A and B are shown apart, each in its own frame.
Chain A
Amino acid sequence: MSRAFLFLGLLFIPPAFAEPDVQKVLQRDFHARGQATMDRVVQDSLQRLCTESADKPPPDVAKALEADQMKTISFPAGDLMGDWQRGEKIAQGGRGLTWSDRPGAPGDGSCYNCHQLAPAELSYGTIGPSLRGFGKLRGNGPEMQRYVYGKIYNAKAYNACSQMPRLGYSGTLTEEQIKDLVGLLLDPASPVNQ
């Protein structure tokens, strides 16, 4: 996978004007704290290509990136629809992976930061699309379950430079937690679908 990234990176010609060497500056000015270790300032190829193209990579590059990201997702066998009640808690919370979070403690989805979900929650963000009525509008068959699971696990497999974090790939959420979020979005009993 990383080799594929390297290859993709080579396709890009560095810009002609003198850009500040951000990588070098970050290496010098940042330090590890808690679980936020210095490897995080090193851009992977996806981050680099999105930065360099202002989040608009050429279609062929985007396609190749998405295909690569898709390989990071291992779909669990069987039903992917977990417990929507646990899912709602995960969607509400905003912790996980910061230097102030306890390492190893379960993370949250931060979903409401960017999306509307259950109608009772007034405090929702609009960076992402509203997901209200998601399952009611699209059904909850195996294909839809798979799509939702994959999108939460690694959003970049569906849209290379999406602003949505790769919640499974980054280690923020576990397989079980993502299934619970699938339940929140697709279960007919979930408040999202009322």
Chain B
Amino acid sequence: MIRRLVCLFLLGGFSCTAVLAQDTKKEIQRYQQMIAEGSPVELFELEGETLWKKPQGPSNLSLERCDLGLGPGMLKGAYARLPRYFKDADQVMDLESRLLHCMVTLQGRKREEATRRVFGNDDRPSEMELLSAYIAGRSRGAKISPGLSHPREKQAYELGRALFFHRAGAWDFSCASCHGEEGKRIRMQDLPVLYKPQHARPVVATWPAYRVSNSTFKTMQWRLNDCYRQMRMPEPAFASETTVALTLFLTATGRGEPYRGPGTKR
């Protein structure tokens, strides 16, 4: 009898928390919608455009002749087709590794110099961040469709998938530790199950993004870097095969979604 009463009490309490959780979820979604509406993200696209057209490096050339996969200087829809295999570099590249390639080959810059400051801060966004904002913005409305036909692309996709489920580091995490089960959240943040298309689609459609917790613009390379930091892992090299493969795996999982970024995140 007492047990039943306790149960009833508990059940009552439980459904009560469930209702609260529902409200909380709705309010958090409202917050996210409102910050997106009042986002300064376009300022970063503007700055990126200036940088794209600015002559730099020993060759004193701008990046305007950079081939992002659709031909030199073709920006419209180019981001939505990345990562992809590039014959001239014999590599699968994401936006940032391709930009780096152009800085080296077109502008004559040293790789070391061009990667010295790939992640900026709220005072000074990095070159990569500003350029990513501009270039990604030129793919608004384009369907996301990364390269998946070349053997190297298939290989990168498989590597990305394996990396996603690979448990390592001081806390035994894989990407799936946080992004592997439906209906979970970390603190207030809903966690997308990134190996499932319906979850990956809205994510890949909105990165890179202005992140209000950093008050600045952040790229996918940064997102993965900071995930590994919080997984208590050592640091992945910028534009490494690891980060590009993971990006391809995630982008391929979310393919078909029209790109609507650069987004705005918590």
Contacts and interface: CB of A to CB of B under 8 A. Distances in A.
B234 A123 contact: no
Given A25-B159, A25-B242, A30 B234 contact: yes
B127 interface: no
Contacts of B165: 51, 54
B235 A30 contact: yes
B170 A31 contact: no
B183 interface: yes
Interface string A153-168: 0001000000101100
Interface stretch (A33-41, A80-88, A175-183): A33-41
Interface in B197-232: 228-230, 232
A172 B170 contact: yes
Interface residues of A, number: 44
A113 B229 contact: no
A4 interface: no
A20 B240 CA distance: 15
A71 to B, nearest CB: 17
Interface string A93-117: 0000111100000000000111000
Contacts of B178: 127
A26 B242 contact: yes
Contacts of B191: 127
B229 A100 contact: yes
A156 B172 contact: yes
A54 B188 CA distance: 27
B174 interface: yes
A134 interface: no
Given A20-B158, A20-B159, A50 B233 contact: no
A123 B167 contact: no
A22 B232 contact: no
A29 interface: yes
B236 A30 contact: yes
Interface string B223-256: 0000011101111110011110100000000000
A163 B168 CA distance: 11
Nearest to B160: A20
A33 B183 contact: no
Interface of B: 17, 24, 155, 158-159, 162-163, 165-174, 177-178, 181, 183-188, 191, 228-230, 232-237, 240-243, 245
13 contacts: A25-B159, A26-B168, A26-B242, A29-B242, A36-B234, A40-B234, A43-B166, A122-B24, A122-B188, A127-B185, A127-B186, A165-B172, A166-B171
Interface of A: 19-20, 22, 25-26, 28-33, 36-38, 40-43, 46-47, 50-51, 54, 97-100, 112-114, 122-127, 130, 156, 163, 165-166, 170-172
Q: Which 10 A-B pairs rank lowest in CB-CB distance, beginning with the nearest? A: A165-B171, A29-B240, A29-B242, A33-B235, A20-B159, A125-B186, A47-B167, A30-B234, A97-B232, A36-B234
Given A43-B167, A165-B172, A166-B171, 12 more contacts: A19-B162, A25-B163, A25-B241, A26-B242, A29-B236, A29-B243, A36-B233, A43-B166, A46-B172, A50-B167, A98-B230, A166-B172
